[in-house]
């Protein structure tokens, strides 16, 4: 099957080349692309075409980091449905997982994953195909998007403790990092950004703080706010469920489901979020055993609580408590 990718990536690279060296008709010709791609960046081109654009742009501008420049010139908000689905997730770990899920719709041969080991999270892009120069530009573009996703939660000045890159070393690459705090490794099998548990814990704090600061209900509260307030009252109650919530809201369950679907969220996700928020407060403010915290929040077993918390935050309740104390 032919590998395909969104035209926007070729558009961004060509735009970077034109900014550096003027009109880039030859680059488009080299890749067999028409100028009309700029009119519909959400359309598809082949991965071979993108590779030709990457290679020709790098050689024409004499800039072997043009993939990075092209990505930095584009905001994460400019990627259509990819952006919309990405920013639906406010927790860092969930946002990384959303990135991995949606990447294949942008680039059919994309292979991203989020792995955990010890007190670290590894955000990974598997092997990138292509000759050295074009593969380098693809990796730099990808790396910029990966970092942008993390920094959209942790802040633009966040620096990873380690980055492994598949490409060859160039001093210009180092200017994008604080090399006093980031260990850069080149010629590796995969592209990997390492995130520490402490950063994950801080990302949870930032998420909760932003959520409080951006919500204002000077007029009548909206459906989500009402439901979240009610859910918090019943977190440890065995009756908590869609049917019970619909009943006390005087709605038919299907009506409540439809209203939530219009908000791009499910009742199950709302409950999970409120359990998570409550859990962060209890874990920070008390020394209660994990099993007791789990029971307070309505989980049938503490293992279910641990799994749910880790899926949301990327670290276990115990690791989160330890990270908040450091």
- pLDDT tens digits for range 152-195: 999 899 999 999 999 999 888 888 899 899 999 999 999 999 99
User: Does residue 91 have a pLDDT over 50?
Assistant: yes
Supply 303's token pair.
């293992």
- The reply to whether 19 and 109 lie within a common domain is yes
Q: What is the C-alpha to C-alpha distance for residues 238 and 242, in angstroms, rounded to an integer?
A: 12
Q: Which of 5-14, 86-95, 199-208, 284-293 has the lowest mean pLDDT?
A: 199-208
Supply 292's token pair.
């007791």
Q: How much is the average pLDDT of 66-92? A: 89
- The reply to whether 278 and 149 lie within a common domain is no
Contact between residue 43 and residue 7 where contact means Cβ atoms under 8 Å apart: yes
Q: What is the C-alpha to C-alpha distance for residues 223 and 205, in angstroms, rounded to an integer?
A: 24
Q: How much is the average pLDDT of 98-103? A: 94
- pLDDT tens digits for range 127-148: 998 889 999 999 999 999 999 9
Average pLDDT, the chain: 89
Where residue 107 sits, what CATH number does that domain have? 3.90.1520.10
Burial class of residue 89, CB neighbours in 10 A (0-12, 13-18, 19+): middle
Confidence band of 219 (pLDDT split at 50, 70, 90): very low
- The reply to whether 265 and 121 lie within a common domain is no
Q: Is residue 292 situated within a structural domain? A: yes
- The reply to whether 164 and 242 lie within a common domain is no
User: Does residue 213 have a pLDDT over 60?
Assistant: no
- The reply to whether 311 and 244 lie within a common domain is yes
Burial class of residue 47, CB neighbours in 10 A (0-12, 13-18, 19+): buried
Which residues have a Cβ under 8 Å from the Cβ of 257 and sit 6 or more positions away? 242, 266, 267
Q: Is residue 203 situated within a structural domain? A: no
Q: How many CB atoms lie within 10 A of CB 62?
A: 9
pLDDT for position 211: 60
Where residue 320 sits, what CATH number does that domain have? 1.10.10.60
pLDDT for position 223: 86
Question: In the listed set 152, 167, 198, which residue is the last one of a domain according to the structure?
Answer: 198
pLDDT for position 218: 43
Q: Is residue 207 situated within a structural domain? A: no
Q: Is residue 209 situated within a structural domain? A: no
Which residue range is the domain that position 227 belongs to? 215-325
- pLDDT tens digits for range 18-41: 999 888 888 999 999 988 888 898
- The reply to whether 124 and 193 lie within a common domain is yes
- The reply to whether 12 and 125 lie within a common domain is yes
Q: How much is the average pLDDT of 112-140? A: 92
Domain count, the chain: 2
User: Does residue 323 have a pLDDT over 90?
Assistant: no
pLDDT for position 118: 80
Helix, strand, coil share (%) of the chain residues, nearest 5: 60, 10, 30
Q: How open is the CA angle 210-95-298, to the nearest 5 degrees?
A: 75
């Amino acid at each position: 099957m032919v590998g395909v990718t969104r035209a926007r990536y070729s558009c961004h690279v060509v735009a970077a080349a034109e900014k550096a060296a003027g009109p880039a008709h030859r680059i488009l010709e080299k890749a067999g692309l028409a100028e009309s791609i700029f009119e519909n960046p959400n359309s598809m081109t082949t991965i071979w075409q993108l590779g030709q654009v990457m290679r020709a742009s790098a050689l024409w501008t004499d800039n072997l980091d043009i993939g990075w420049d092209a990505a930095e010139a584009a905001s994460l908000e400019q990627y259509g449905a990819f952006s919309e689905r990405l920013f639906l997730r406010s927790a860092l770990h969930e946002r990384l997982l959303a990135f991995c899920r949606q990447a294949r719709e942008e680039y059919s041969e994309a292979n991203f994953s989020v792995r955990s080991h010890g007190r670290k999270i590894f955000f990974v892009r598997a092997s990138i195909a292509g000759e050295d120069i074009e593969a380098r530009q693809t990796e730099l573009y990808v790396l910029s998007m990966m970092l942008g996703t993390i920094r959209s939660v942790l802040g633009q000045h966040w620096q990873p403790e380690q980055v492994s890159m598949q490409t060859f070393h160039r001093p210009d690459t180092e200017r994008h990092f604080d090399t006093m705090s980031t260990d850069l490794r080149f010629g590796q099998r995969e592209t990997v950004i390492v995130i520490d548990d402490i950063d994950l814990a801080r990302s949870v704090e930032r998420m909760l703080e932003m959520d409080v600061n951006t919500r204002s209900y000077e007029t009548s509260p909206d459906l989500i706010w009402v439901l979240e307030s009610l859910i918090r009252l019943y977190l440890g109650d065995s009756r908590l469920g869609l049917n019970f919530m619909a009943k006390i809201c005087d709605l038919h369950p299907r009506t409540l489901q439809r209203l939530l679907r219009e908000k791009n969220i499910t009742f199950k996700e709302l409950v999970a979020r409120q359990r998570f928020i409550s859990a962060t407060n209890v874990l920070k403010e008390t020394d209660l055993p994990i099993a007791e915290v789990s029971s307070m929040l309505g989980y049938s077993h503490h293992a279910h609580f641990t799994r749910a918390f880790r899926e949301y935050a990327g670290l276990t309740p115990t690791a989160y408590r330890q990270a908040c104390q450091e």
